[in-house]
Structure 1
Amino acid sequence: MRLGLRLLFAFFLINGIAAFFVLRVFTAEIKPSVREVMEDMMVDTANILAELASDDLASGRLAASAAGPGSGAPESAFARHVRAYANRPIDAAIWGFSKQSLDFRIYVTDATGRVVFDSEHKALGQDYSQWRDVARTLRGEYGARASRDVQQDDTTGVMYVAAPILANGQIAGVLTVAKPTRTVQRFIDRAERKVLKGGLLLLALSALVGVAVTVWTVWHVRRLRDYALSVQGPSDGAAPPPPVPQVPGELGDLARAMDHMRGRLEGRDYIEGYVRALTHELKSPVAAIRGAGELLQDELPAADRQQFATQVVEQSERLQRLIDRLLELSKLEQRQHADTAAPVALRDCAERAVRQAQARARQRGVALALAGDGASGPWEAELVTLAIGNLIDNAIDFSPEGGTVRVELAGPAVAVQDQGPGVPDYALPRLGERFFTTARPDGTRSGSGLGLAIVRRVMQLHGGSMAVQSGSPGLRVELRFAPA
């Protein structure tokens, strides 16, 4: 499973479990919380009514009037007020709900638990001494109960809260207030719906946050992966290392650690590659010098001695050129950019490079031709001259005697064309690698490949490009500098 799917699955799992338990707790607490509030208010109501009913119960007027107005007995004040309460019109808007009926049922029992007053005339004369609300209150405890009119139907539940009626400091009876729980069920249902909607909205928002965090994390991880893939191999100097991804937090620390590791590995591979290639390049001239030196220790004819001495000098010069170009390339690879403080004309740089190569070209019987004016731009004159000079030297090496090396300028581009045998197509992509070279027209491989490596590095420092094309005949190398 991919990292993004793992993160998303883990986030949804954790978030879903948390949301499930939180919503379950909220919905499970709503109903008992509402009923606890209702019970608290009923306790206050029962105690107030118990005080109002105490005088009528003690005098016996409450029991006498319990039979109702048709019995002929005088109606007690308490009974009259309760009846007026039951007949009272009501139309109250409570937080969006309309209340149009009064729901309290009130009954009173005497000291033996027998009902002497019932606002609904349901239980007059019945023995309620075993009901929990009456029995506990008669014992001086808090009495309350919840019962259902229909045992299997939770919506028919009724809550009963009792309070003692005191006479001369003694419990003379019990007043119970009853209220159907269905009257508050609509408030409970609305609260549960709101909690559920809020929970689902929170879950959706959390899901969006989870997706965003997952996408953000996976995007940065993929940037680190792409960076690691781009630097996994040793650099041959053909391209600068990619920039370190700018990612925050621990991922940023990881990116910087990877860059540090890349630098260390690249430095080690760079040195190892240099040592291998340099060893290979040094073997031939060192062997030639050693062989010539051993022969020169013997008595030789003057002509042979001259030949071997010349060979020692030529191979020494080859070693010197190799060392000089290695040092030059090493300095260039340490630099990060060219010095572009002042505008430079390509024509001036090309003329300077042609003058420096003129003597060597005459020795090889090769003519140099310069055409075009070229542009001016924010380039480093010394490096531009070095690049053009290396191209000219390389073209001289591959040109036959009597041939011509042409240097052509056009805008921000300079091209060097020789009349040599050219380069096979398979070798064109490798031109510019350190120590990669092809055979000269005389069949020798006296070059080191560092000349074109220097040219390529100069173009990298200037943000330009080097294009190589095999002509008929010869090889054409074009340098295109970034315009101003």
Structure 2
Amino acid sequence: MRIGLRILLGYFLIVGLAAWFLLNVFVAQVKPGVRSTLEDTLVDTAHLLADVVADDVKAGKVNDSQILARIQNVARRHVDVQIDGLNKRSLNYRVYITDQQGRVTFDSSGKDVGQDYSLWNDVYLTLRGGYGARSTRGAGSDDTSAVMHVAAPIMDGERIIGVLTVAKPVSTVQPFVERSQRIILQRGAVLLALSLLIGVAFAWWLNRALRTLMVYIADVEAGRKATLPALGKNEIGTLGRALEAMRNKLEGKEYVEELMHTLAHELKSPIAAIQGSAELMQEDMPAAERQHFLGNILNQNLRQKQLIDKLLALIRVEKQQRLSAPEPVSLRELADQVRADVSARLLARGLTLDARIDKLIVKGDALLLRQAVGNLLDNAIDFSPAGAIITLRGEQMGDETVISVSDCGSGIPEFARERLFERFYSLPRPDGAKSTGLGLPFVREVMALHGGRVTVDNIEPHGVCAMLHLPIVLVS
């Protein structure tokens, strides 16, 4: 499982558990909170009414009390009130008064006058100087059928002469409870959705950055041209830059060691030839022989120079990870430049260059492309018999621009096919000359910088065709 997906799932789990816990706490606290508010209001109301009716109760005028009559009338009043979006159509309360023995002397509902309420908690506790309240269900275990009763003492100085209880059904506040719970759940769901969206965005960003870094690492591991992508100034960017620095140090050390080993090996032969010729020239010999050995020294020295020059050019393109400033390059102009570069060698060998280039433009480095095509032509000239024709083509094939160089030589032996692009590996020329073995490796690196590839294969009836495949063709 990818790290981005693991982080996303972990984030979902944490956010989901936290949201579930918080929503449960909030929803669970709504009902007790509303009931506590209801009880607080009933306490205030009971004590207010108990003080208002105290004189009538003390005088024994409960049945003739105008105040109690009004309380009874108000209980039957119809109202039309909007409270926080909910309609209230009636006054849902009940008031009753008990004497010192707990017997009901007044009931706003008119149904329990004369009943003994002395054992009910609201009356029992209040008559004994405590806080009297109770909640009684009307239908078994149905919590919404409960009625809350809150009592207050009716005082005559310091003496309790009765109890006034205010009762209100819990069901009257249930719509407010349900509404609050619904709003909490809705907004909690929105918050959870937003949190998950943020988590998805973060996980996508992290996964994208890590995937970009992994592609770069895979290219480095495979030995392909790769430049460190822009990863920002965060921890992933720091990690990427650290990997790039480590890569440069390790590749640089390994590259130098390999280069020094191969260079020393390749220089042994021309140095030995120069040393041998120089030692022989110290002796007396005919002028013709001396001239022969002198020519050998000059040829071997030129070979060393070519080897070093081409090796330096190869090093530059091998260490270069991308083109710094690619620009449009006309293939016809490129062909004219390369023809001029090899014209002297063509004339000396009696060869003809047949160039047919379509009017195409590619994007890249003109100098590197010129050197790459020049290397292919140098190989074609070396292996072509005198008087032969070398063909140079530039054409569009599908979504690629293909530059091909074909000769009429003897072709590539089977044993050499797998080693053509090895550094310092070369086949002997028909005239016995030896190449540096750096031309094709250079061409391959140039193609890699251009996002292309190079192929070399035999053609019928005889000869070799080398092809440069360049992507992103612009037709003018």
Structure-2-length-normalised TM-score: 0.80
| Deviations 1:328-380 (CA, angstroms, capped at 9, x unpaired) | 3344556634685997823541342133435xx62xx4434354577586887
Distance, in Å, in 2 between the alignment partners of 1:126 and 1:172 is: 16
1:49 correspondence with 2:38: no
Relative distance call for 1:22 and 1:232 in structure 2 (3 A) is same
Counterpart residue number, 1:72: none
Q: Quick one: which amino acid aligns to residue 108 of structure 1?
A: I
| Deviations 1:102-149 (CA, angstroms, capped at 9, x unpaired) | 332212233454433233442625252x64434554455544333445
Counterpart residue number, 2:392: 408
Note the 1:98-109 alignment, pairs <5 A: 98-109=87-98
Relative distance call for 1:108 and 1:280 in structure 2 (3 A) is same
Q: Quick one: which amino acid aligns to residue 277 of structure 1?
A: T
Q: C-alpha displacement at 1:171, in angstroms?
A: 4.1
Counterpart residue number, 2:175: 186
Relative distance call for 1:441 and 1:380 in structure 2 (3 A) is same
> Any unmatched runs of 5+ in structure 1?
66-74
Counterpart residue number, 2:106: 117
Percent identical among aligned pairs is 42
Q: C-alpha displacement at 1:431, in angstroms?
A: 4.3
- SS of equivalent residue, structure 1 residue 51: helix
| Deviations 1:177-225 (CA, angstroms, capped at 9, x unpaired) | 1122233233323433443344445445544544444344333322222
- SS of equivalent residue, structure 1 residue 244: coil
Structure-1-length-normalised TM-score: 0.79
1:88 correspondence with 2:73: no
| Deviations 1:58-86 (CA, angstroms, capped at 9, x unpaired) | 21111xx2xxxxxxxxx321332232123
- SS of equivalent residue, structure 1 residue 116: strand
Q: Which has the higher strand share?
A: 2
Note the 1:419-458 alignment, pairs <5 A: 419-424=408-413, 431-441=420-430, 446-457=434-445
Counterpart residue number, 1:470: 458
Distance, in Å, in 2 between the alignment partners of 1:127 and 1:17 is: 49
Counterpart residue number, 1:314: 299
Distance, in Å, in 2 between the alignment partners of 1:463 and 1:12 is: 41
Query: Do the aligned partners of 2:402 and 2:469 also contact (CA within 8 Å) in 1?
Result: yes
Q: C-alpha displacement at 1:101, in angstroms?
A: 4.2
Query: Do the aligned partners of 1:403 and 1:419 also contact (CA within 8 Å) in 2?
Result: no
Query: Do the aligned partners of 2:454 and 2:468 also contact (CA within 8 Å) in 1?
Result: yes
- SS of equivalent residue, structure 1 residue 146: strand
Find the partner of 1:224 among 190, 213, 216.
213
Query: Do the aligned partners of 1:438 and 1:445 also contact (CA within 8 Å) in 2?
Result: no
Q: Quick one: which amino acid aligns to residue 268 of structure 2?
A: K
Relative distance call for 1:430 and 1:43 in structure 2 (3 A) is farther
- SS of equivalent residue, structure 1 residue 447: coil
- SS of equivalent residue, structure 1 residue 26: helix
Find the partner of 2:149 among 131, 135, 160.
160
Q: Quick one: which amino acid aligns to residue 126 of structure 1?
A: D
Counterpart residue number, 2:28: 28
Q: Quick one: which amino acid aligns to residue 280 of structure 1?
A: H
Relative distance call for 1:314 and 1:163 in structure 2 (3 A) is same
Q: C-alpha displacement at 1:32, in angstroms?
A: 0.6
Query: Do the aligned partners of 2:228 and 2:241 also contact (CA within 8 Å) in 1?
Result: no
Q: C-alpha displacement at 1:432, in angstroms?
A: 4.9
The aligned length equals 462
Counterpart residue number, 1:325: 310
Distance, in Å, in 1 between the alignment partners of 2:394 and 2:115 is: 122
Distance, in Å, in 1 between the alignment partners of 2:156 and 2:53 is: 10
1:6 correspondence with 2:15: no
Relative distance call for 1:17 and 1:408 in structure 2 (3 A) is closer
| Deviations 1:228-252 (CA, angstroms, capped at 9, x unpaired) | 11111445xxxx3245154673223
1:260 correspondence with 2:245: yes
Distance, in Å, in 2 between the alignment partners of 1:323 and 1:180 is: 102
| Deviations 1:163-185 (CA, angstroms, capped at 9, x unpaired) | 23234565433211112223323
CA RMSD, 1 decimal: 3.9
Query: Do the aligned partners of 2:216 and 2:226 also contact (CA within 8 Å) in 1?
Result: no
1:353 correspondence with 2:341: yes
Distance, in Å, in 1 between the alignment partners of 2:2 and 2:231 is: 23
Counterpart residue number, 1:367: 351
Distance, in Å, in 2 between the alignment partners of 1:222 and 1:413 is: 32
Distance, in Å, in 2 between the alignment partners of 1:9 and 1:373 is: 57
Relative distance call for 1:374 and 1:454 in structure 2 (3 A) is farther
| Deviations 1:423-455 (CA, angstroms, capped at 9, x unpaired) | 24675676455323233336x682222223444
Relative distance call for 1:105 and 1:324 in structure 2 (3 A) is same
Relative distance call for 1:313 and 1:252 in structure 2 (3 A) is same
Q: Quick one: which amino acid aligns to residue 34 of structure 2?
A: V
Distance, in Å, in 1 between the alignment partners of 2:370 and 2:27 is: 82
Counterpart residue number, 1:58: 58
Q: C-alpha displacement at 1:56, in angstroms?
A: 0.9
Distance, in Å, in 2 between the alignment partners of 1:423 and 1:476 is: 10
Query: Do the aligned partners of 2:393 and 2:405 also contact (CA within 8 Å) in 1?
Result: no
Distance, in Å, in 2 between the alignment partners of 1:204 and 1:380 is: 51
1:278 correspondence with 2:268: no
- SS of equivalent residue, structure 1 residue 145: strand
Find the partner of 2:382 among 397, 413, 424.
397
Query: Do the aligned partners of 2:390 and 2:405 also contact (CA within 8 Å) in 1?
Result: yes
Distance, in Å, in 1 between the alignment partners of 2:223 and 2:358 is: 36
Q: Quick one: which amino acid aligns to residue 452 of structure 1?
A: L
- SS of equivalent residue, structure 1 residue 106: strand
Counterpart residue number, 1:68: none
Relative distance call for 1:356 and 1:259 in structure 2 (3 A) is farther
Q: Quick one: which amino acid aligns to residue 404 of structure 1?
A: A
Distance, in Å, in 1 between the alignment partners of 2:158 and 2:112 is: 30
Relative distance call for 1:61 and 1:255 in structure 2 (3 A) is same
